[in-house]
Each structure stands twice: as C-alpha cells, then as structure tokens.
Amino acid sequence: MMDYYINAFATLFVTIDPVGLAPMFLAITAGMSQADRRRVAIRATLTAAAILLVFYASGQTVLNVLGISVSAFRVAGGILLFLIAIEMIFGKRQQRKSETAEKAMEAETHQGSIHELAIFPLAIPLIAGPAAISAIILLSSQAPDTLTYAGLGGVIAIILLSCLGAFLLADKIERLLGDTAQLVITRLLGVLLAALSVQFVADGILAFIQG
C-alpha cells in the first residue's frame, strides 16, 4: 500500500508541479494586492479540486461507459505522461504553460474580469489539466482495494494544498530557487515522470497479454 501511495504522490506531484506553478502565478496576478492574490489562489485551488474530484470519483465509470479497458487506459495514460516528461526534460512544457497563461491573462484583462484568471488558466489547465486528469483516472484504476482508493483522495488533497501553499508563497519560492535551480528541478522531475510513465505502459501491456 505504501508503494502505491509513494507512486501516486510522485506521479501527481510531477504532473501538476506545484513549485513550477509559483512563477506563473506571480506573472498572472501581477499588479494585484496581496488580498486579491490570496483570493485568486484559494479560488483556483478549490476549482481545480472540484474538477479533479469528479474524475477521482467517476473515472472508472467513465471508462466503463466508453467501453475502455483499464489496461488500454494505462497504456494511453502512460504515453501521455511520457510526452509530458519529454517536454519537461527539454524545457518545452514550462514555455507552453507560460504562453497559455499569457494569452489567458491578455484575454481576461481585455474583458475587465481579471479574477476569472483563477478559473482559466490557473485551475484549468495549469492545475487540473489533461495530464493530471489522466493520472488520477489511471491511479484510481490501480487501487487494489477501497481503503487504498480512499487514501488516494488524501494524496490528491495534499497535492492541492501544495499548490495553494506554492501560490501563497510564490514570491519567496521564486527568489529562493532562482532560474537555474528551477530548470534543474524540472528536468530531474521529468526524468522521474518518464520512468513512471514507462512503468504504466509496461503494466498495461502485461495486463493485455495476461488477459
């Protein structure tokens, strides 16, 4: 059970990357007061939590309705996570996220509703993006029993609290790490995610063969 939780935490932490979201949060909320930033951080985290909770609770049902086997989703999810890992290793993912954030910020400023940035792009897709959703459905399908499945909910909650903490301490995190440290950490996490994604694919293929 402990191995499952460690694997789940590592997968979600690397996929969502709370520390990497900190500088983007600062850029998106530039010019806001501390109180407004706090409200945006809380709203974004709660929105992302609601989205991820839906897929955590109904992910297996969605697969059953669509007629997708767990093995097939493991392979597909593993491939998706591997692509994310490649982007992290070669520094493309942070650039893509930054571009998404900048476009959304420009659009929301034009509409005069900057607080909506808590929904897009912070909650969607920076926290609750396709990779995070896929990872949660994948991990949910791997839970061996109800108790372990319930524990996964606790892991998700910890990751989301990490995001909230990263947002609230964004300025300190950015000063502490610096650009070089952020690049090194991102690439190391990318290698870890690549290994985890290959394991997902291998497990899915093995299940296909045994089935």
Q: Which residues of the chain are modeled with pLDDT < 70?
A: 30, 93-115, 211
* pLDDT at site 97: 61
Spatial CB neighbours of 208, under 8 Å, sequence gap ≥ 6: 71, 72, 75
What is the structure's pLDDT at 150?
A: 95
Q: Judging by beta carbons within 10 Å of its beta carbon (0-12, 13-18, 19+), is residue 190 exposed, middle or buried?
A: buried
Model pLDDT, residue 106 = 58
Query: What pTM value is reported for the model?
Result: 0.77
Q: With contact defined as beta carbons under 8 Å apart, do 163 and 40 qualify? A: no
pLDDT at 103: 62
- Share above pLDDT 90 across residues of the chain, in percent, rounded to a whole number: 32
Q: Report d(CA 57, CA 136) in Å as an integer.
A: 10
